[in-house]
Amino acid sequence: MPDTPYTIADLLRVMQRLRDPDGGCPWDLRQDFQSIVPSTLEECYELAAAIEQGDYPHVAEELGDVLFQVVFYAQLGREQSLFSFEEIVHTLVDKLLRRHPHVFADGDIEGRVEAQCEVAEVKRSWEAIKREERAARSQRGVLDDVPVALPALPRAQKLQKRAALVGFDWPDARAVLEKLDEERNELREAITTGDTAAIADEMGDLLFTCVNLARRLGLDAESTLRHASAKFERRFRVMEAALAEADGRGLAALTTSELEALWVAAKARD
């Protein structure tokens, strides 16, 4: 362990050494932009899990892993003369200054804006600036830069938020609930026909409407579902533990009514 903490410069040098054809890491040398994308996504999810668990020492470690992904892409960019880590930082700082005129007067890091700004005003300004940026990239459609690679729930929510910016939105959550009832009825009808394609289509509409309802209620669909999944997992494990203490049988050996009784007990204990 060195006497002084390692720096960003040390991290960049480590990355250079890992990718050095003369004595570098064989695995790192085989990677390219496409091959490390799965690792990037995995690291982000591990960071999210650590935050949800409130395990902040682990959060710091996971943040380091996410930073390593950025440094890896930067090294690949430098090797191919596409961009450097310094350019990544410059682009980010420039964008932050541009998108926060209510903080940085005249786009200067030390420039101060004296007048206080409300959150709603910040959001309006943010979206206006992003529209200008999309126009500069010839992305004139409202939905043009919503990434296709986003997971389904956050992508649905982002599409809905974008549409809402131009007034294409439900007036309130009650109206979305009515639409939810409509979609449930359409799904029932599709199930009755047995048409697999229609069932899948209506199920998708139902899920999309659920995301819309979460948004209108001020909830993040991804976080809300992750919370529900964690709750289900926690209660299911309580069921397993209770059954193991009682007679050692597995859940698969129980009747529907016995499973329901265990579930009710697990909910009561939660």
Q: Each residue of 48-105: pLDDT tens digit?
A: 989 988 999 999 999 999 999 999 999 999 999 999 999 999 999 999 999 999 999 9
Is residue 171 located within the same domain as residue 215?
A: yes
**The pLDDT value given to residue 149:** 83
What does the DSSP 8-state code read for residue 137? T
CA quadruple 106, 111, 116, 118: dihedral positive or negative? positive
Judge contact between 127 and 165, C-beta under 8 A. yes
Is residue 51 located within the same domain as residue 8?
A: yes
Domain boundary among 219, 234, 252: 219
Is residue 227 located within the same domain as residue 214?
A: no
Q: Each residue of 86-100: pLDDT tens digit?
A: 999 999 999 999 999
Query: Could you tell me if residue 88 is inside a domain?
Result: no
Is residue 63 located within the same domain as residue 7?
A: yes
pLDDT at 135 over 80: no
Which residue, among 67, 29, 31, has the nearest Cα to 47 in the 3D structure?
67
Which residue, among 270, 265, 228, has the nearest Cα to 245 in the 3D structure?
265
Query: Could you tell me if residue 112 is inside a domain?
Result: no
Torsion of CA 98, 102, 105, 107, to 10 degrees: 0
* Statement: the pTM of the whole predicted model exceeds 0.75: no
Query: Could you tell me if residue 103 is inside a domain?
Result: no
Is residue 71 located within the same domain as residue 13?
A: yes
Q: Each residue of 192-205: pLDDT tens digit?
A: 999 999 999 999 99
Q: Which residue has the higher pLDDT, 71 or 131?
A: 71
Question: 60-83 as b/e, with b when 16 or more CB fall inside 10 Å?
Answer: eebeeeeebbebbbbbbbbeeeee
One-letter amino acid at 220 equals D
Is residue 60 located within the same domain as residue 45?
A: yes
Instruction: Tell me the CA end-to-end span of the chain in Å, nearest whole number.
Output: 44
Domain boundary among 27, 61, 83: 83
Question: Domains in the chain: how many in total?
Answer: 3
Is residue 189 located within the same domain as residue 250?
A: no
Q: Each residue of 156-168: pLDDT tens digit?
A: 999 999 999 889 9
Question: Cα(264)–Cα(235) distance, rounded to whole angstroms?
Answer: 9
Judge contact between 177 and 206, C-beta under 8 A. no
**Phi, psi of 104, rounded to the nearest 5 degrees:** -105, 100
Domain that holds residue 11: 1-83
Is residue 254 located within the same domain as residue 193?
A: no
Question: Cα(85)–Cα(75) distance, rounded to whole angstroms?
Answer: 7
**Phi, psi of 103, rounded to the nearest 5 degrees:** -115, -45
Q: Where are the alpha helices (DSSP H) in 137-216?
A: 152-165, 173-193, 196-216
Query: Could you tell me if residue 91 is inside a domain?
Result: no
Is residue 169 located within the same domain as residue 242?
A: no
Is residue 179 located within the same domain as residue 242?
A: no
Query: Could you tell me if residue 20 is inside a domain?
Result: yes
CATH of the domain at 191: 1.10.287.1080
Query: Could you tell me if residue 141 is inside a domain?
Result: no
Q: Where are the alpha helices (DSSP H) in 106-169?
A: 119-136, 152-165
Is residue 177 located within the same domain as residue 233?
A: no
Query: Could you tell me if residue 262 is inside a domain?
Result: yes
Q: Which residue has the higher pLDDT, 97 or 149?
A: 97
Question: Cα(158)–Cα(125) distance, rounded to whole angstroms?
Answer: 18
Question: Cα(188)–Cα(203) distance, rounded to whole angstroms?
Answer: 10
Query: Could you tell me if residue 22 is inside a domain?
Result: yes
Question: Cα(59)–Cα(54) distance, rounded to whole angstroms?
Answer: 8
CB atoms within 10 A of CB 209: 21
Is residue 2 located within the same domain as residue 62?
A: yes
Which residue, among 213, 136, 121, has the nearest Cα to 170 in the 3D structure?
213
Domain boundary among 54, 83, 112: 83
